[in-house]
């Protein structure tokens, strides 16, 4: 089968590349390993960190290319080429305009702040946007091929504003969004990640992109001149060649499901990924075989998680996001010694780094395992599992109850004396509205998101005083890996001499992360993936030689 462009994968980065290439007149094929389309994007919130977008501007958030670039420069700590950051700043607003013009999706912005508000150039909102509701009936026969979110607790088809208006499911308002979500599901509405994927699939269909599921790419084909000219794939039990006259775009996700790669490249504990099974590092392996330079192999998009017994997804153990419960008042996170080790209300990605921190003195990971400890008032008011109004009905087996802090420590395997002492110190601080150890609640990010309770004077702090007490294991989970082939400002994969591997492009988690070790704000993963997918689609069809810098 011969095409101009072959895109490997079908998440946000992949489909953005496919639509972008098709807009340029290319005959495009999307090859997806799974029987459904959407990848990790489909089960995500599909937030996109796209600075300088008009939605944020309409909400009154002032921004400039200089401020975005200053912020990113501090976050990248030299792990990313300056030119790549420059191009992201310039092209992110163009990627938004591309989605706005080439798909039927609409977007909303929220007051979600950047994740490092203490750095110059950070903004309190407007840079992160989310897809609106998409009518899945527009897809016709394609609708069943959109990857579904696991249920219960999957991403609901509700707007971020609607969640915010219902106080993010906290307190007495917790069921409002759930009722709305169920009504919309019955009407075929897609929300969040499924909405974005649905709109991109519709755009692909409108541009005659070949959408081919259940097809795992196993090898890149290289021509006599050393350029990538196609792929070999497994389809229906046979090896099929797919020619790509203009190029191949790798956008098939990371390697978080590959135990060997994780052990040898990352080398820290992992309970399991939050992404759908199947991200086994195919893009990384194939790109290295053709001489690609690789980077950020030990960097991860972290997200603390919860394991509910007997829950599976695609036949593998399922984990759920667990960032909310640890961050809300009346709860702390401790290690097995009973000690806190970080600000529980900090952003989930950086908290994950603390969970797997290595101690060279003891040659151990002192914060693995770790536990969330909470009191009865917290349990009554807040759901520790995101987007699951009925979490308490299925808590048997993972939520442990005890009449005292000491008894809870014994049940969880925590040092009882250490936990008793830690809770005492924390309660004394929290009673006065401060956290002398980690400044929890005093930082701009902590209290300005859904992980704080707006009904309290300090949205993040309250003593643990009301028995019985509860606890559960906070799992080391991730949204994906950040390592892969290094790309240039045209999304071309480069070798160790910084020369493009002709005919090979990459975007999303299949590529070395553009932001290096950092997570700039909500939706940074998909925002960068879609932007460089859009660039790849333009570059592979020859519509851009040098992305214009300046942006805004």
Query: pLDDT, tens digit, for every residue of 72-110?
Result: 999 999 888 999 999 999 999 999 999 999 999 999 887
| Residue 88 CB burial class (10 angstroms; 0-12, 13-18, ≥19) | buried
Does 258 fall in a domain? no
CB 332 within 8 A of CB 364: no
Q: 322 with 380, same domain?
A: yes
Residue count (the chain): 552
Q: What is the Cα–Cα distance from 552 to 538, expressed in whole angstroms?
A: 19
Beta strands per DSSP E along 263-357: 272-273, 294-295, 300-302, 305-306, 312-313, 316-317, 320-321, 331-335
Answer positive or negative: Cα dihedral of 30, 33, 39, 40.
negative
Is 265 among the domain residues?
no
* Whether pLDDT at 173 is above 60: no
Q: How far apart are CA 19 and CA 386, in angstroms?
A: 32
Quick one: DSSP state of residue 474? E
Query: DSSP per residue over 243-274, as a string?
Result: EEEEEEEE-S--STT-HHHIIIII-S--SEES
Residues 451 and 523 grouped into a single domain: no
Q: Which range (12-26, 341-355, 537-551) has the least confidence? A: 537-551
> What is the DSSP-derived secondary structure letter of residue 76?
H
Question: Among residues of the chain, what percentage have pLDDT more than 70?
Answer: 94
Name the more confident of 17 and 111. 17
Query: Residue 231 forms beta bridges with which residues?
Result: 220, 242
Work out the average pLDDT over 53-66: 95
Give mean pLDDT, residues 9-33: 98
Q: Check which CATH number belongs to the domain holding 381 and give it.
A: 3.90.700.10
Average pLDDT for residues 366-393, to the nearest whole number?
A: 82
CA proximity to 202, closest of 135, 138, 282, 284? 138
CATH number, domain at 209?
A: 3.50.50.60
**Sheet with strand 272-273: strands edge to edge:** 272-273, 477-481, 300-302
Question: What's the pLDDT tens digit per position in 267-283?
Answer: 999 999 999 999 999 99
pLDDT, tens only, 422-438 = 999 999 999 998 999 99
Residues 401 and 505 in one domain: no
Same domain, 517 and 406: no
Side-chain-side CA neighbours of residue 297 (13 Å): 17
- Based on the domain organization, do 49 and 75 belong to the same domain? yes
How many angstroms separate the CA atoms of 488 and 499, rounded?
9
> Where residue 552 falls among pLDDT bands split at 50, 70, 90?
very low
Query: Which of 98, 125, 83, 78 lies closest to 13 in space, CA to CA?
Result: 98
pTM of the model: 0.95
Asked whether residue 27 falls in the same domain as residue 77, the answer is yes
User: Considering the domain boundaries, does residue 547 fall inside one?
Assistant: no
For residue 409, pLDDT over 80 is answered with yes
Per-residue pLDDT of 442-465, as tens digits, reads 887 887 666 788 778 788 999 999
The answer to the question of residue 176 being in a domain is no
Number of domains within the chain: 2
Residue 361's contacts (CB-CB under 8 Å, 6 or more residues apart) are: none
* Contact partners, residue 276, CB within 8 Å, separation at least 6: 34, 39, 40, 42, 43, 147, 313, 314
Instruction: Please give the average per-residue pLDDT across 246-270, as a whole number.
Output: 98
* Domain span at 15: 2-155+191-217+482-540
pLDDT higher than threshold 90 for residue 263: yes
The reply to whether 205 and 75 lie within a common domain is yes
- Contact at 8 Å (CB) between 222 and 229? yes
């Amino acid at each position: 089968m011969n095409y101009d462009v072959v895109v490997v994968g079908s998440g946000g980065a992949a489909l953005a590349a496919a639509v972008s290439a098709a807009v340029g007149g290319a005959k495009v094929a999307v090859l997806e390993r799974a029987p459904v389309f959407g990848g990790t994007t489909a089960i995500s919130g599909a937030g996109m960190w796209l600075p300088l977008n008009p939605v944020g501007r309409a909400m009154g958030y002032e921004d400039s290319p200089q401020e975005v670039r200053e912020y990113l420069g501090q976050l990248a700590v030299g792990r990313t080429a300056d030119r790549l950051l420059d191009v992201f700043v310039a092209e992110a607003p163009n990627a938004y305009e591309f989605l706005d013009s080439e798909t039927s999706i609409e977007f909303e912005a929220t007051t979600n702040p950047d994740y490092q508000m203490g750095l110059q150039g950070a903004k309190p909102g407007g840079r992160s946007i989310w897809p609106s509701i998409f009518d899945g009936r527009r897809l016709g026969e394609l609708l069943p091929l959109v990857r579904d979110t696991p249920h219960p607790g999957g991403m609901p088809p509700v707007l971020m504003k609607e969640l915010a208006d219902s106080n993010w499911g906290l307190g007495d308002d917790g069921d409002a969004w759930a009722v709305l979500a169920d009504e919309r599901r019955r009407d075929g509405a897609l929300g969040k990640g499924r909405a974005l994927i649905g709109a991109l699939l519709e755009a692909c269909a409108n541009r005659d992109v070949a959408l081919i599921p259940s097809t795992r790419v196993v090898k890149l084909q290289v021509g006599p001149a050393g350029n990538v000219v196609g792929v070999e794939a497994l389809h229906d039990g046979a090896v099929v060649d797919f020619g790509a006259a203009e190029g191949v775009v790798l956008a098939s996700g990371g390697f978080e499901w590959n135990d060997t790669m994780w052990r040898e490249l990352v080398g820290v504990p992992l309970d399991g990924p939050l992404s759908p099974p199947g991200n086994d590092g195919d893009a990384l392996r194939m790109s290295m075989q053709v001489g690609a330079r690789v980077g950020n192999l030990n960097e991860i998009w972290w997200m603390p998680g919860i394991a509910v017994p007997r829950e599976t997804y695609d036949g593998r153990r399922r984990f759920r996001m667990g960032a909310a419960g640890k961050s809300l008042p009346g709860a702390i996170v401790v290690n097995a010694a009973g000690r806190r080790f970080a600000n529980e209300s900090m952003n989930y990605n950086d908290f994950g780094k603390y969970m797997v921190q290595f101690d060279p003195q003891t040659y151990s990971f002192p914060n693995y395992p770790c536990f969330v400890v909470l009191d009865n008032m917290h349990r009554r008011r807040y759901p520790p599992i995101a987007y699951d109004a009925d979490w308490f009905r299925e808590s048997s087996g993972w939520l442990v109850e005890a009449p005292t802090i000491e008894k809870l420590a014994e049940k969880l395997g925590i040092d009882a004396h250490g936990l008793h002492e830690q809770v005492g110190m924390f309660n004394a601080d929290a009673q006065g509205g401060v956290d002398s150890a980690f400044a929890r609640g005093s930082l701009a990010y902590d209290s300005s998101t859904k992980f704080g309770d707006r009904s309290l004077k300090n949205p993040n702090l309250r003593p643990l005083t009301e028995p019985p007490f509860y606890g559960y294991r906070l799992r080391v989970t991730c949204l994906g890996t950040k390592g892969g082939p290094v790309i240039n400002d045209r999304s071309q994969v480069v070798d160790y001499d910084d020369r493009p591997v002709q005919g090979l492009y990459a975007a999303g988690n299949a590529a070395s992360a553009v932001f290096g070790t950092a997570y700039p704000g909500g939706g940074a993963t998909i925002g960068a993936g879609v932007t460089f997918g859009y660039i790849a689609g333009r570059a592979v069809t020859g519509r851009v030689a040098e992305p214009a810098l300046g942006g805004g």
